[in-house]
Amino acid sequence: MKAIGYNSYGGIDKLQILEVESPKPKRHEVAVKVSAISINPVDLKKMRGGFKPITSIKKFPIITACDFSGEIVEIGNDVGAFKVGDKVFGMQDILFNGSAAEKITISQKYISLAPNNFGLSDSAAIPQVGNTSLLALRNIASLRKGHKLLINGASGGVGTFALQMAKIYEADITAVTSDRNIEWIKNEFDIENIIDYTKTDITDTSDKYDIIFDANGNLSFPKISNSLSTNGIYVTTKFNIYNNIDTAKQFFKRKKSRTVLSGRTSTSNLDMFRMWMEDGKLKPVIEKTYSFDQYHEAYEHLSSGRAKGKLLIKIN
Ligand SMILES: NC(=O)c1ccc[n+]([C@@H]2O[C@H](COP(=O)([O-])OP(=O)(O)OC[C@H]3O[C@@H](n4cnc5c(N)ncnc54)[C@H](OP(=O)(O)O)[C@@H]3O)[C@@H](O)[C@H]2O)c1
């Protein structure tokens, strides 16, 4: 069967169509005929060998991507929650498995039934960015109604999910994006407070936020600390030594800094996303769906850092 992946670490020029063996599910796994995948910046990091110290036991070829949606075609003996024919969406663990293949196997713990009010392919846009936002905003920052929340990188994959989630939680949202996306964010997500980072340095404003979610990851705790309210928290998607040294120093301080790590999802998190989608509160935000053969173009666009929402690749 066909997959998209690489035989050595490097840039996206290493990506190729691979011919690999069709996998068989283990006892607790299902086999999924993949409908679509979505791609994430973490795929590029893994491709460059960014997780090599941990993943070196994994042999080439490596199949890229983690997000997917598709239909179950086979189940292992211990699988009780799903059956053949179920339409599902989910996320492979980012370190050791990939999703960009005609058929994949995955533990039943990392999938859920796909929402019934969107095309099956579209739900591939959700798992990784949803999981990241949920861990950052709900688990780490304890987001509540009325919290003053700043989302930096609001137009990207993580940002567009975080915006919608923050609306569900009824937060007081300020979005940070560039001039090209201001009108779009205003109209698409009904957000009033928007800062154009190309014109305004957000660290210069006198506004204070209970939560700053740095979805883009280009800020840092020392830089943004003055914009936090007394008990405010800064949550970033990027590991940054300054943030984490500060985390140690912050033990007795009120302002906090944390890094979110979304390596795996869970059925219960995915169930929540499905419920929000079926209730009409959340939608997949997809800039473009590429065909299987256009994988290179899709990753080129992702690596520009300018994607608007998510990029999908159709598999089957
Ligand atoms: N730690 C984790 O577990 C985890 C999980 C998921 C993602 N991440 C990381 O989170 C980051 C964002 O992921 P993503 O999927 O949202 O990426 P993405 O979709 O590629 O983000 C693209 C968006 O970033 C915006 N952007 C670029 N430069 C910016 C800046 N200086 N200030 C504000 N916005 C800016 C762009 O808007 P403009 O075109 O308007 O500039 C574009 O819409 C990546 O670094 C990714 O590796 C980490």
How many Cα atoms occupy the beta-carbon half-sphere of 165 within 13 Å? 30
Count of Cβ atoms closer than 10 Å to residue 147 Cβ: 21
- 195-199, Cβ contacts within 8 angstroms, sequence gap of 24 or more: 197/152
CA-nearest residue, atom 32 of ligand 1: 153
Tokens of 107: 């533990």
Query: What's the CA-to-centroid distance between 25 and ligand 1, angstroms?
Result: 34
264: in domain: no
Does 136 share its domain with 106?
no
Does 147 share its domain with 241?
yes
180: in domain: yes
Distance in angstroms (rounded) separating the CA atoms of residues 116 and 77: 27
Distance in angstroms (rounded) separating the CA atoms of residues 291 and 238: 30
- C-beta of residue 145 within 8 angstroms of C-beta of residue 170: yes
Q: Tens of pLDDT along the chain (316 residues)?
A: 999 999 999 999 999 999 999 999 999 999 999 999 999 999 999 999 999 888 776 789 999 999 999 999 999 999 999 999 999 999 999 999 999 999 999 999 999 999 999 999 999 999 999 999 999 999 999 999 999 999 999 999 999 999 999 999 999 999 999 999 999 999 999 999 999 999 999 888 789 999 999 999 999 988 899 999 999 999 999 986 666 666 666 666 788 899 999 999 999 999 999 999 999 999 999 999 999 999 999 999 999 999 999 999 999 9
**Number of domains making up the chain:** 2
146: in domain: yes
Reference 272, options 91, 126, 158; nearest CA is 126
Q: Which DSSP symbol is given to 227?
A: G
199: in domain: yes
Does 91 share its domain with 171?
no
Return the exposure string of 43-67: e unless at least 16 CB atoms fall within 10 Å of the residue's CB, then b.
bbebbeeebeeeeeeeeebbbbbbb
Does 138 share its domain with 247?
yes
Say what the pLDDT of residue 115 is.
98
Query: What's the CA-to-centroid distance between 42 and ligand 1, angstroms?
Result: 11
Distance in angstroms (rounded) separating the CA atoms of residues 301 and 307: 7
Does 117 share its domain with 138?
no
CA-nearest residue, atom 40 of ligand 1: 178
Length in residues, the chain = 316
188: in domain: yes
Q: Give the domain CATH number at 170.
A: 3.40.50.720
106: in domain: yes
234: in domain: yes
Does 187 share its domain with 247?
yes
Reference 124, options 291, 307, 284, 278; nearest CA is 284
Distance in angstroms (rounded) separating the CA atoms of residues 134 and 276: 13
Say what the pLDDT of residue 282 is.
98
Task: Work out which ligand 1 atom sits closest to the CA atom of 310.
Answer: 19
φ and ψ of 143, to 5 deg: -55, 135
Amino acid at 310: K
CA-nearest residue, atom 27 of ligand 1: 305
Query: What's the CA-to-centroid distance between 121 and ligand 1, angstroms?
Result: 22
Does 121 share its domain with 133?
no
Say what the pLDDT of residue 138 is.
98
Does 254 share its domain with 134?
yes
223: in domain: yes
Q: Give the domain CATH number at 304.
A: 3.90.180.10
Domain that holds residue 75: 2-125+285-314
Reference 162, options 192, 128, 196; nearest CA is 128
Does 165 share its domain with 78?
no
Does 157 share its domain with 106?
no
Does 141 share its domain with 254?
yes
Q: What is the dihedral of CA 148, 152, 156, 162, to 10 degrees?
A: -20
**Residue pLDDT, tens place only, 183-207:** 999 999 999 999 999 999 988 878 9
Does 114 share its domain with 147?
no
φ and ψ of 287, to 5 deg: -75, -45
Tokens of 105: 């196997």
Contact 130 CB / ligand 1 (< 6 Å): no
